[in-house]
Amino acid sequence: MKSQVQQKPTEAELEILQILWKFGAATVRSVNDRLNESKKVGYTTTLKIMQIMFDKGLLSRDEEKRSHVYRAEVREQEIQGLLLDKFLHSAFGGSAMKLVMQALGNHRASKDEISEIRKLLDELEGDKK
């Protein structure tokens, strides 16, 4: 997989990436069928988006068989980091504290989530000592 994403994926591209991250390599038909579980998307629309994603380097394509098989060329964590960085800077002025406070204030965290957050904070504090 490539290590540097040049531009953030569009919303439609992100939906396709999420399918490929969850289910692995797939044909356009398979991706389109999964997209149609939640909304109506035409096959040719899915095909065009995936061709654009291939051109951008977001997807790779195995052309050995009649039906091309596509796979994600970017890691989920890489895209999440890119999107979070852009969101953090545009919506919260770069303040991670404001983002976390807003997220925790708008969402009731479970005991397990709070435990994981504490563990992460402990690790971050240990790195600074």
Query: Each residue of 83-103: pLDDT tens digit?
Result: 999 899 999 999 988 988 888
Distance CA 97, CA 120 (A): 14
pLDDT at 2: 45
Query: Which among 3, 12, 5 has a CA at the least distance from the CA of 52?
Result: 12
Angle, helix 76-92 to helix 11-23, in steps of 10 degrees? 150
pTM value? 0.76
Residue type, 6: Q
- DSSP, res 112: H
Full strand arrangement of the beta sheet holding 59-62 = 26-27, 69-72, 59-62
pLDDT at 4: 59
